[in-house]
Amino acid sequence: MSPTVRPDGVSPPPLLQAVHLTLEYQTERGPLRAVDNVSFDVQKSERLVLLGPSGCGKSSILKALAGFIRPSGGRILLDGREIAGPGPDRLVVFQEFDQLLPWKTVKENVAFPLKVARGRSSSEASKLAAEMLAKVGLERVLDDYPHTLSGGMKQRAAIARALAAAPEILLMDEPFAALDALTRATLQKDLLRLAHDMQFTLVFVTHSIEEAVLIGTRLHLLSARPGKTIATIETARFGPDDLGTPEFQSVVGEINGALFTQTASIAA
Amino acid sequence: MTDQTAETPTTSVPIGLVRARLRIASLTRSGAFRRMVVLTGLAAAWQIAAVIAANPLLFPSLTQTLSALWDALLQEDLALSAIASLSILLKGYILAIVIAALLVSFATANAYAREALLTLTAMFNPLPAIALLPLAMLWFGIGEASVIFVLVHSVLWPFALAALSGFEAVPETQRLVGRNYGLSGARYVAYILVPSALPSIISGLKIGWAFAWRTLIAAELVFGVSSSKGGLGWFIFRNRNELFTDKVFAGLVAVIAIGLVVEFGLFRAVEANTVRRWGMQR
């Protein structure tokens, strides 16, 4: 499928570009290819979802975008410049609850990147942190330590921490996968509300088709290892109210079919 | 103990009594209270055993020991001895921790340095530090330098091992968070690695302190050389020679008391305000 073309026919220069990205891990039995020649663009304020079965390398792609692992082939460009290592212009929300630093209160956690990566003063950082935490509904636990919070609250705090530091692009690695279904649904809605209000750019990794269709404005489907591009699908028309509508279900079914065919053909 | 808290006060009980009961209930739940009960029990057992044995020359009672302790504090040099011991102890302890911090930094940065540290630790950790004292006296003469040498040896290896395992156990996600903010080098160590490894670091400090304390007393006892001032071990040794058994006991009580104060007054307090408060240690 072709990359995004805006209704007016003009594509603005992409914020983030992955060009012929190939990722390999060194193992005892030699190099293991996790991702094979994957390319995609992310426009400003777009929400790109990387969707694929377990082991398709979608988390590896996110780690490469964050600069944690170096591509063995291809390039990653942010604002047209090749990225060199990790940096606060690309902040990550992880799946693991221990991403909040246990020795800092909720507010200190959110203020931390503002201070060390954005050069804000302590009082500025503290004020911004409190404001952002109020936006995610955590104004009552500002001075609590993370271990006293529920899983959903921890993920909210992690989202607030990333957004408060105003990254150029927000990277989320299955952030809701360890939550119960009810909390997950609430956080998905809240994330969409924040995206609507703040217009941040997002790359979101998930293995849940429903979550992908709900969160993303565009999905990038990946095959099982080594991850290759299967298809790119526009899903910007779906919002939280469309869950379970026939059109939503048909898109989910279509994606399911695409992923299943791919897996079946590999198994054959 | 918990029966009191489970008991529901009825309306016929005066409110003052209810408050008193609640206060007692919260008292019995505190660790300090349980500790006092245990210490009182031990003291009573000692006193009774000594009264039955009725041989103060070999086994003085608690009250005799306490009165000897009081005399030694007022009229003799027990306090000075304790200060002499503690000052030499602190020198060795701090020096060892500085050296360990350097070794662990090298070990986290380089695979060969790590292997070297692990090998040295495996070699020296089981070796009682006091066994090196004869050699130390050959090298550094009879005096403070020799004692500091064995003290460093007794603290360095267990502390370095604890700190290194603490650094290596820092969760991958927290490492990535630090790198995500562009932290590297000293800032990465100070903001991420040290706080995350703090439970192991404190535990290493505690082990190191206990090892240092027992090594020092042993060194002073066996060789009586903790400089011309003489420390607690020397105080015990001297009084044993003169068969002042109650003063020997007083010296031992002083050793134990200082150990308890450091353990509960310093290390437990630090833990309660850091790693326990943060939920990193139960």
Taking CA–CA distances from A106, the nearest residue in chain B reads: B278
**How far apart are alpha carbons A120 and A165 in whole angstroms?**
10
User: Among residues of chain B, what percentage have pLDDT more than 70?
Assistant: 93
What is the reported pLDDT for B205? Answer: 95
Judged by a CB distance cut-off of 8 A, whether residue A101 touches chain B is yes
Q: Give the contacts of A29 (CB within 8 A, at least 6 positions apart).
A: none
- Tell me the percentage of chain B whose pLDDT exceeds 90: 56
CATH superfamily for B67-273 is MetI-like (1.10.3720.10)
A204 and A245: one domain? yes
pLDDT in tens, B155-168: 999 999 999 999 99
CA distance A231 to chain B (A): 30
Chain B residue nearest residue A85, CA to CA: B182
Contacts of B192 in chain A (CB under 8 A): 101
DSSP designation for A12: P
pLDDT in tens, A186-236: 999 999 999 999 999 999 999 998 899 899 999 988 888 787 777 788 887
> Who wins on pLDDT, B7 or A217?
A217
What is the pLDDT averaged over residues B159-178?
95
Residues of A with Cβ-Cβ distance to B194 under 8 angstroms:
none
Taking only the tens place, the pLDDT of each residue in B197-238 is 999 999 999 999 999 999 998 888 876 654 556 788 888 888
In a domain, residue A42? The reply is no
Q: Would you tell me which residues 126-155 of chain A have a C-beta closer than 8 angstroms to some C-beta of chain B?
A: 145-148
Are residue A83 and residue A144 in the same domain, yes or no?
A: no
Determine whether the interchain pair B173/A94 forms a contact, defined as Cβ–Cβ distance below 8 Å. Answer: yes
Domain assignment present for A94: yes
Query: Is the residue at A112 inside a domain?
Result: yes
For the cut 90, the answer to whether the pLDDT of residue B24 exceeds it is no
Contact B173 A112 (CB under 8 A): no
The C-alpha atoms of residue B3 and residue B149 are separated, in whole angstroms, by: 54
**Total number of domains constituting chain A:** 2
pLDDT on residue B172: 94
Whether A121 and A82 map to the same domain: the answer is no
Neighbours of A29 (CB within 10 A): 6
Q: Residue range B105-130: average pLDDT?
A: 91
Q: Which residue of A has its CA nearest to B192?
A: A101
pLDDT tops 80 at residue A5 = no
To the nearest whole Å, the CA of B187 is away from the closest chain A CA by: 9
Instruction: State which residues form the domain around A27.
Output: 15-35+47-89+184-268
pLDDT digits (tens, 9 = 90+) for A40-96: 999 999 999 999 888 788 899 999 999 999 999 889 999 988 998 999 999 999 999
Non-local (6+) Cβ contacts of B46 within 8 A are B61, B62
Q: What's the mean per-residue pLDDT of chain B? A: 87
Contact A103/B180, CB-based, under 8 Å?
no
* Cβ–Cβ below 8 Å for A101 and B182: no
Does A31 have pLDDT greater than 60? Answer: yes
Q: In this predicted structure, which of A121-125, A255-259, B118-122, B235-239 has the lowest mean pLDDT?
A: A255-259
pLDDT in tens, A121-172: 999 999 999 999 999 999 999 999 999 999 999 999 999 999 999 999 999 9
Q: Which of A67, A87, A96 sits opposite B173 (nearest CB)?
A: A96
Total beta-carbon pairs less than 8 A apart between chain A and chain B: 65
- Is the model's pLDDT at B187 over the cut of 80? yes
User: Taking the domains of chain B in order of start, what are their residue ranges?
Assistant: 2-54, 67-273
Tell me, yes or no, if A103 comes closer than 8 A to chain B by beta carbon: yes
- DSSP-based three-state secondary structure for A102: coil
The residue that leads in pLDDT, B152 or B34, is B152
A98 touches chain B (CB under 8 A): yes
pLDDT band at B179 (very low <50, low <70, confident <90, very high): very high
- Is residue A107 situated within a structural domain? yes
A248 reaches B (C-beta below 8 A): no
CB proximity A166 to B under 8 Å: no
- Average of per-residue pLDDT values in chain A: 87
Is A31 found in the same domain as A75?
Answer: yes
Smallest CA-to-CA distance from A92 within A118, A63, A114 is with A63
Same domain (yes/no): A259, A190: yes
pLDDT band of residue A263 (cuts 50, 70, 90) is low
Q: Is the pLDDT of residue B5 over 50?
A: no
Is residue A26 located within the same domain as residue A65?
yes
Task: Kindly report the CATH number assigned to the domain that includes residue A26.
Answer: 3.40.50.300
CA atoms of A128 and A110, how far apart (whole Å): 9
A205 plus A215 within the same structural domain: yes
Residues A209 and A84 in one domain: yes
Give the model's pLDDT for residue A232: 83
Q: What's the rounded Cα separation, in Å, for the pair B180 and B202? A: 27
Closest residue of chain B to A117, computed from CA coordinates: B181
- Asked if B187 reaches chain A (Cβ–Cβ under 8 Å), the answer is yes
Q: Is residue A6 part of a domain?
A: no
Chain A environment of B179 (Cβ under 8 Å): 67-68, 86
Q: Are residues A192 and A240 in the same domain?
A: yes
Judge whether A89 is closer than 8 Å to chain B, CB to CB. Answer: no
What's the pLDDT score for residue B25? Answer: 77
